[in-house]
Amino acid sequence: MKITRILSSLLLLWYCQSLVGQYNLGASKLQNKGRFPATGVITQSSGLALDPDGIHFWTHNDQGNATTKIYKFLPANGNTAVSIVDSVQVVGHENLDWEDMAKDQNGNLYLCQTGKNCNSLSPPECPGRFLYKILKMPFAVLNSQTSIVPDSFIFKYPLPPACNQNGSDTTFVNAEATIFYNNNVYIFTKNIWSKVTNNCGNWVETSTYLFKIPLIAGSSAANPIVGEYLGSYNLKVSEADSTVNFYKVIAGAINTAQTVVSLVTPARVWQFRNFTGDNFFNGDVSYHSFLDDGGIGVIRGYEGADFYNNDLLYLSVDGTNGRISAINIDSLCTNVRSLVDHVPGSLRTALSCASQGDTLSFNSATANQNLIIGAPINITKNISIVNTQSNVTIQSLTNLPTMFAINPMKQVYLEGFNMETANYPDNFSIQNNGHLTLKNITVKNFPGQAKNVINQTGATLTISGDVDIKTN
């Protein structure tokens, strides 16, 4: 049976860029988790997947060292060598640019041959130039056998409507980032062409393009699965991002809870949160750059990525003696560490970046300090803001009508800090349209000002612990 996927014209948003806010989380220090042995079998780690035991990882080489085994290893600390504990031969398949790994929640690993195979300048007759492959392997077999014959799925990419649909045009992709989500593999491109001399897809060099690959049994080179185009996102933040290190995606992962998608470029990690369905680009977007263990900015070829848990992202470098690193994604998003508004680490940025139900915390740098709010903060999600540092005060500037405006039906929990409005008539600290709980909070205004907490119709206010609402 021939397997095809016809793109609905309603979904063909080929030229649209997702319009969502970008939040710069600044730079964050990488944790060193060992290196692959300098004389070992892994010289080009190009994918990473956490084993179901929650301790070991699997990886593979890409086409530069085209072994047909995948390797299980135990991370280390610092720059010591990781331990290679097992290897499994993949039977019946060449390594024609294996570029990433993904895994489902039912115990299966997906090895993704999504690289460039023949390069973009190769003639059309280059074997398999426009066909790609995904190999499915149960972890149970990988952890009990020395070889495996995987299930295979062969696919190609769809043509944009502006391209010639009679076969003379093709979509050619070099992709190094894949995830598994809701029974499909999703691919984020690094490079994409319609033809070397014909950009009929109007592809944008600085964007990553998202494709959905349904894993349908029975595919073949003659009858490949046809992927579905879902959208694009431009990773070039400013004109200062002048090299591919800033916008070419080389790894991808989704966290355990399936709520955060991370995409890696050599210079940054991007996080996509609060998305709807598989429209990963329509939610909250943030990014940060890398610091080495000495606090110096670095650019690295992290081509493998997978989450250790919901927060900690592991990364592996493609190269001889390649390093393993880890970075805590959620702490970057939900930790308040700046006293200044509208900057990376500010309370406003943390609220924008956080997911539904997250808890924001305060860094030790905020102890005994005032955090200045320069404009009202609209709280549009269920959130907790909890401070355990000493004597933190959130303070508004003059002529600010409110500090926090809570949307209808939102559950908001505030604990452990002071709030102080500026000395200006009609200012108040909180406009509550939702369901607010205050615990161990001091809210202070000045004589002649309006009430500190305004409860709108239908809103609720719960007081817990030591709450002091007073006039200065």
Q: Is the pLDDT of residue 12 over 60?
A: no
Query: Of residues 400 and 250, which shows the higher confidence score?
Result: 250
Instruction: Name the pLDDT band for 345 (thresholds 50, 70, 90).
Output: confident
Average pLDDT over residues 452-463: 90
> At residue 219, does pLDDT exceed 90?
yes
pLDDT at 317 over 80: yes
Predicted pLDDT of residue 202: 84
Answer whether residue 6 shows pLDDT above 70.
no
**What is the pLDDT, as a whole number, of residue 8?**
30
Comparison of pLDDT for 95 and 304, the residue scoring more: 304
pLDDT higher than 50, residue 13: no
How far is CA 423 from each of CA 335, 368, 371, 391, rounded to the nearest angstrom?
29, 21, 16, 20
| Mean pLDDT on 36-42 | 94
pLDDT of residue 146: 98
Q: Which residue has the higher pLDDT, 120 or 216?
A: 216
Distance of alpha carbon 353 from alpha carbon 43, whole angstroms: 36
Q: What percent of the chain has pLDDT over 90?
A: 61
| 81-117 pLDDT, tens digit each | 999 999 999 999 989 889 999 999 999 999 999 987 6
Tell which residue, 354, 339, 321, 381, has the closest CA to residue 35. Answer: 321
Flag the least confident range among 2-11, 152-161, 270-279. Answer: 2-11
pLDDT for the residue 96: 85
332-355: average pLDDT: 85
Close Cβ partners of 277 (under 8 Å, ≥ 6 residues apart): 182
Q: Which of 114, 438, 94, 85 is nearest to 249 (CA)?
A: 114
DSSP one-letter code for 434: S
Distance in angstroms (rounded) separating the CA atoms of residues 294 and 308: 24
Q: Which two tokens stand for residue 268?
A: 């940054």
Give the per-residue pLDDT at 22. Answer: 77
> What average pLDDT does this structure show over 229-236?
95
Q: What is the mean pLDDT of the chain?
A: 87
For 238, other C-beta atoms within 10 Å of its C-beta total 7
Please give the full DSSP string across 32-88, using - where no structure is assigned.
EEEE--TTSS-SSEEEEEE-TTSS-EEEEE-GGG--SEEEEEE--SEEEEPEEEEEE
In the numeric block, which tokens belong to residue 358? 């997250």
Instruction: Please tell me which residue, 353 or 305, carries the higher pLDDT value.
Output: 305
User: What percent of the chain lies above the pLDDT cut of 70?
Assistant: 87
The per-residue pLDDT for 293 is 84
Structural domain boundaries of the chain? 9-333, 337-471
Distance CA 287, CA 268 (A): 7
Mean per-residue pLDDT, 243-258: 95
Tokens of 468: 């002091």
135, 110 in Cβ contact below 8 A? yes
Band (120; pLDDT cuts 50, 70, 90): low
Instruction: Report residue 448's pLDDT band, with 50, 70 and 90 as the boundaries.
Output: low
Which of 128-132, 232-236, 421-425 has the least mean pLDDT? Answer: 421-425
Express each pLDDT in 184-217 by its tens digit. Answer: 999 999 988 776 556 777 889 999 999 999 999 9
- Determine the pLDDT at residue 447: 57
Tokens linked to 297: 């900015």
Find which of 19-23, 110-114, 166-170 is predicted with most confidence, using mean pLDDT.
110-114
Q: pLDDT value at position 471?
A: 54
Interval 387-392 mean pLDDT: 92
Q: Is the pLDDT of residue 76 over 90?
A: yes
Higher pLDDT, 466 or 386: 386
Q: Does 297 have pLDDT greater than 50?
A: yes
Please identify which residue in the block is written with the tokens 């001889």: 320
Superfamily holding 9-333: TolB, C-terminal domain (2.120.10.30)
